[in-house]
Structure 1
Amino acid sequence: MKPLYLPFADGQWRMAMGLKPLQLQHWIEIDEDFAKELNYKDKLHREQYSDVFGCLPESEAGQQEVLELILEHLLQYFPNYYQQQDDHIVNKVTNQIWNLRDFTKNSLDLAGRLVQEDLCLMQRNDSEYILTAGSVCFPARWRLSEKLGRPLMQIHDPVPGYAQKLEQPVNKFFDRLKPEFPGYRLNWGIVDSPELFLTQPHGCAAFGEDITAENAGEKLWLRVERQTLRRLPKSGGILFTIRTYVYALKSIVRDRQIASQLAAVIQQIPQEMQIYKNILPIKSPLLTYLQQLTAF
């Protein structure tokens, strides 16, 4: 069953990391969309490989460690889904069979095909953490090719207020993160499509031109990312996972309290962040829609 994550449920907008401790048994999540999403990943890899996977040569050892950790986790916690037969990994649900020897140079590629999460490998280079490898099939308005090889600050440069409010806390967290204490956080946005491979840019002026208070429930979706961070014990890199959930807005706001909480948070978001998140173009009809739901 798909879990329901509502990061705005306290009705407060915050520009903060919002990290919480992660129990390792809950690191990877599987739900009823497992087969559909993995088959979609397979399609993207076949048709748009350079868009969904990339790596730098120095990432090879880190990639291998990620694959080992994920395989160990999947075989322990999801034995009904996965089986290892010598050098072959079998997905019992999709009937996919992967040969480990085919991925000796790009182990993160295979790791990303096994789970619904997207995977980003961050490795320290002098004083900065660099994105050295990524398997990203379900991006939220960004492209892996534009981020690969860049440090944290450049990756987050488009985010309003990141340099002032989050750069130092994020850097400190990365420096202090220990293998035995992983963490997770939630990120969210409102989108006009249930598409998982979403490359439409942030701050798009044409976004939501057809959204009205009457059709907002039908044409908008809540998109939530469950992001985890885990230090790799051998190579010292950090694995950043992104699990994307998309919920039809109309199904979420059937609960009047949730509708009220979402409206309260949207009204608190600074304008520059509204622009970045593509909320400003739909703010008026969206708020009218939510307020109509809570008026009775």
Structure 2
Amino acid sequence: MDTILQKHMPFDPLQNTPLPGVAPLAMSDWLIIDDAYAPQMALRRRLLANRRQDVLQVAPQALPAAQELLSLVLEQLAMREEFDVSERHVTCPDGHRVTLIWDDPMQTVGQLVQEDMCLLQKQGDEHVLSGAVLCFPAGWTLSEKFQKPLLRIHAPVSEYDENIAKRVQRLFDGVRPGRPLWRKNALWYDDPCLFAPRSEATPHLPARDPGTHRPFLRSERQSVVRLPKSQAVVFSIHTFVLRREDASSE
């Protein structure tokens, strides 16, 4: 896979944030167009063309929510001068023209913006992953999480106990349309590869001292957005990968 790196980020990923680490986000700031837009989008489009089953899943019952997500993305892009949005096409900042396919909305969204998009819909007491375009997984595999509830999705994460699960579920229940929330993470890696899936059955390697060895900082800005009609929750992930020297100081 290509080495695609940003030089800058709109936040300091290494700054300590008090728990739970969630903050309000303006809708106008939801979608980020950064200095890696063109190469990231070229990679996304190749993955969608050549490895669709690995990066895109939508349950039939999630199609209306996925179409609502596409509408929301187009509404946001129409307000940005970098995009030319028409009834049938969008011309993107890299010059690529995307045809709007409403019967395949997640594939269309995946060709427009850098964010990976996960749709979660309430079933019983938990939100379930009912659809996603996930081109840049960091250590997980979409097929293993698809149509699973939040607690099951996080099963391999030892820190994700029932107490944290309840807090996350309250966050998903509480987010309101037009008032998204966001958080960040930051991890050091040896390999800058953006498409980095890993099965739950693959053992985790022991962590090394991140302050001395690993040359790449990978940070996700994760946003939680409520769709007003379907009431589905969108968990979006914008992925940044920087060389150590371009990251903020620890």
User: Is the pair's TM-score, using the shorter chain for normalization, greater than 0.5?
Assistant: yes
Counterpart position of 2:145? 147
1:222 aligns with 2:217: yes
- 2-side partners of 1:4 and 1:147: how far apart? 29
Cα 1:176–1:44 change in 2 (3 A) is same
Aligned to 2:177, what secondary structure does the other structure show? coil
Specify the code of the residue in structure 1 equivalent to 2:83: Y
Partners of 1:165 and 1:246 in 2: how far apart? Answer: 31
* Distance (Å, rounded) in 2 between the aligned partners of 1:146 and 1:175: 24
- Counterpart contact for 1:231–1:238, Cα < 8 Å: yes
The alpha-carbon distance between structure 1 residues 55 and 17, as it changes in their structure 2 partners (threshold 3 A), is: farther
Sort the Cα spacing of 1:212 and 1:31 in 2 relative to 1 into closer, same or farther, 3 A. Answer: closer
Question: Which residue in 1 is equivalent to 2:230?
Answer: 235
TM-score normalized by the length of structure 1: 0.75
Aligned to 2:247: 252
Q: 1:45 aligns with which of 31, 48, 55?
A: 48
Alignment partner of 1:3 out of 4, 9, 13: 9
The structure 1 residue matched to 2:122, chosen from 124, 136, 154, is 124
Aligned residue pair count:
242
Whether 2:57 is the aligned partner of 1:54: answer yes
Residues 1:212 and 1:183: Cα distance change in structure 2 (over 3 Å): closer
Residue among 35, 39, 51 paired with 2:38: 35
CA RMSD of aligned residues (A): 2.4
Contact 1:193 1:221 in 2 (8 A): yes
Aligned residue type for 1:68: S
Partner of 2:4: none
Conserved 8 A contact 2:21-2:183: yes
Q: Distance in 2 between matches of 1:242 and 1:58?
A: 23
Q: Are the structure 2 counterparts of residues 221 and 84 from structure 1 closer, same or farther at C-alpha, using a change threshold of 3 Å?
A: same
Match in the other structure for 2:3: none
Higher RCO, Cα 8 Å, sep 6+: 2
Alignment partner, residue 87 of structure 2: 86
Does the 8 Å contact 2:219/2:241 carry over to 1?
yes
Whole-Å Cα distance in 2 between the matches of residues 5 and 220 of structure 1?
Answer: 19
Report the TM-score, using the length of structure 2 for normalisation: 0.88
Which structure is higher in helix share? 1
In 2, Cα distance between equivalents of 1:222 and 1:89: 32
Q: Identity of paired residues, percent?
A: 30
- CA shift, 1:200, in A, is 4.1
Structure 1 residues without counterparts, runs of 5 or longer? 259-296
SS in 2 for 1:158: coil
| SS class of match (1:133) | strand
2:177 pairs with 1:196: no
Q: Which runs of 5+ in 2 are unaligned?
A: 1-6
* Structure 1 residue 227 displacement after superposition: 0.4
Name which one, 1 or 2, has greater alpha-carbon Rg: 1
1:128 partner amino acid: E
